[in-house]
A and B are shown apart, each in its own frame.
Chain A
Amino acid sequence: MSDTPAFRELVGEDLTAEEAERLGRVHDLLVAAGPPPELPPHLQEPVEPEKARDNVSFLPRRRAGLLLGIAAAIALTAFLGGFISGERHGSPFNEVASVPMHGTTATSNASAVIHVGKLDSAGNWPLKVDVKNLPALPKGQYYEMFLSRGADARAASCGTFRSAGDTEGLRLNAPYSLRGVTGWVVTLERPGSGKHPVVLTT
């Protein structure tokens, strides 16, 4: 099954030959170009050019902040491990870090916060996710959250869910080491489709 849209389905049948030829060329260029990437939040606004001129390598990088946050969470967990494990068993969720997510072009109003819980003795990082403004999906479709490592945005699945606008306290899980993690994404999944559009990203 091809995920390339059928040109005639997009533009209809009531085009002149010249118009069809012109729009057909645009269609071919779009298919050849592939999707543009989503800019991370810290690149949404241009840097101050004077600062950029002399100081590029020292510009703030949100990614570095994310990595530091995760590293700090790991360190904190190691440090507090004995203390937390000594707490009473009924404690529902011991948050060690939270990571904000933002929408992409198709979901620009959507956002989420991933609350990362304490690593359990079996090696699970429990995740509690609060989602805002993510559209409800037709039957059979669902969202899936992944850990990203470098260029591999969907390196490891953390679970699937459905949403109806705002959804709080979704329980997902990352049974992986968080070392080397560069972010998280949420994709829209459709059975039979080879495409995995990103709808939320860190």
Chain B
Amino acid sequence: MPVVAADECSDGELITRSADGDRDAFEVLYRRYARPVFGLALRRLGDRGRAEDAVQETFASIWRAARSYKPERGPGAPWLYAVARNAITDRGRARAEPPTEAPEQASSEPGPAERVESSWVAWRVHRALEGLSPNERTVIELAYWSGLSQSEIAEFLNIPLGTVKTRTRAALHRLSGLLEEELG
């Protein structure tokens, strides 16, 4: 039976292989999810040092708990999200919080349900970005989060404007496929 390269495996297959002690599978999982986990931890904890610890704890938990993943119950991304959320919550609890008085006015910040929804969207999108080629990812990150126009990106990367446009469109097409996979 041919062995499928870890790079070509689904998240669920990688978790299953990690449960059997496959380090290559674990490494691919790490490369796909390290940034989404770090992003989630930063959002929840608001502190880089503790978020970095949470990344390490999350992947230690994934390695340790991989056997509890049941492929028949669903794809790997939601399971990984749950493991990350638990590890980050544990890291958050580790900080001694000073007692605070209840606020008198309702907060205008998003409620728990909205926060969960936006965290899940970010998790899904950041995971999909890891599926792009480095060239495609660079133009997407510069276009969306650096405030550069297409011609400024061309100038910054010292490549033709047409190449920037081609890469951007190709990246969006690829992301649409990757996000569909994530959505199941």
Residues of A within 8 A of B126 (CB): 33, 36
B168 to chain A, nearest CB (A): 5
Greatest chain A CB density within 10 A among B34, B56, B59 is at B56
For A106, what are the chain B residues with a Cβ–Cβ distance below 8 Å? 138, 141-142, 146, 156-157
Q: A31 interface residue, CB < 8 Å from B?
A: yes
Number of interface residues of A (CB under 8 A): 53
Task: Tell me the complex Cα distance, A56–B173, Å.
Answer: 39
Smallest CB separation, A17 vs chain B (Å): 15
Across-interface contacts of B173 in A (CB, < 8 A): 23
Contact, CB under 8 Å: B42 / A34: no
Cβ contacts under 8 Å, B146 to chain A: 106, 188, 195, 197
Q: Is B86 an interface residue (CB 8 A)?
A: no
- Please tell me if the beta carbons of B49 and A37 are within 8 angstroms of each other in the complex: no
Task: Give the CA-CA distance A188 to B63 in the complex, in Å.
Answer: 38
Q: Which of B27, B134, B168 contacts A10 (CB 8 A)?
A: B168
Do A138 and B168 touch (CB < 8 A)? no
Given A47-B59, A53-B63, residue A197 in contact with residue B39 (CB < 8 A) = no
Contact A29 B125 (CB under 8 A): yes
What residue in chain A is nearest B152 (Cβ atoms)? A138
Residues of B close to A27: CB separation below 8 A: 172
Chain A residues 18 to 34 lying within 8 A of chain B, measured CB to CB, are: 22-23, 25-27, 29-34
Complex interface: stretch among A57-65, A78-86, A88-96, A112-120? A57-65
Q: Are B121 and A151 in contact (CB under 8 A)?
A: no
Q: Which of B27, B48, B60 interacts with A63 by CB under 8 Å?
A: B48
Q: How large is the interface on B (under 10, 10 to 19, 20 to 34, 35 or more residues)?
A: 35 or more
Count of A-B contacts judged by CB separation below 8 Å: 153
Asked whether any CB of chain A lies closer than 8 Å to the CB of B179, the reply is yes
> Within 8 Å CB of B155, what residues of A?
138
Question: Would B52 and A43 count as touching, CB distance under 8 A?
Answer: yes
Q: Is the CB of A193 within 8 A of B34?
A: no
Output the least CB separation between B102 and chain A (Å): 25
Known contacts: A29-B125, A197-B146. The answer to whether A61 contacts B52 by CB under 8 A is yes
Q: Which residues of B contact A135 (CB under 8 A)?
A: 156-158
Q: Write out, one digit per residue, whether chain B residues 23-45 have a CB within 8 A of any chain A CB (1) or not (0).
A: 10011001100111011001000
Asked if B85 is at the interface of the complex by the 8 Å CB criterion, the answer is no
- Contact check, B56 vs A59: say whether CB atoms are below 8 A apart: yes
Cβ–Cβ contact B122 & A30, under 8 A: no
Question: For residue B138, which residues in chain A have a CB less than 8 angstroms away from its CB?
Answer: 105-106, 108
CA of A108 to CA of B135 in the docked complex: distance in angstroms? Answer: 11
Determine if B23 and A49 form an interchain contact, defined as CB atoms under 8 angstroms apart.
Answer: yes
Q: Hey, which chain A residues are within 8 Å of B122, CB to CB?
A: 32-34, 36
B39 to chain A, nearest CB (A): 5
- Find out whether the CB atom of B169 lies under 8 angstroms from the CB atom of A11: yes
CB of B68, distance to nearest CB on chain A (Å): 15
Find out whether the CB atom of A31 lies under 8 angstroms from the CB atom of B144. Answer: yes
6 closest A-B pairs by CB? A33-B125, A46-B30, A197-B146, A195-B147, A35-B145, A52-B60
Offer 17 A-B interface pairs, CB within 8 angstroms, sorted by A: A22-B176, A26-B176, A34-B122, A35-B145, A36-B35, A36-B122, A44-B34, A46-B34, A53-B63, A63-B52, A105-B141, A106-B142, A138-B155, A150-B46, A151-B48, A182-B48, A188-B146
Q: List 18 additional A-B contacts (Cβ < 8 Å) besides A39-B35, A47-B56, A108-B134.
A: A9-B150, A12-B169, A33-B121, A35-B141, A35-B145, A36-B122, A36-B141, A37-B35, A46-B27, A47-B59, A49-B26, A49-B59, A53-B63, A53-B64, A56-B60, A61-B52, A61-B53, A190-B147
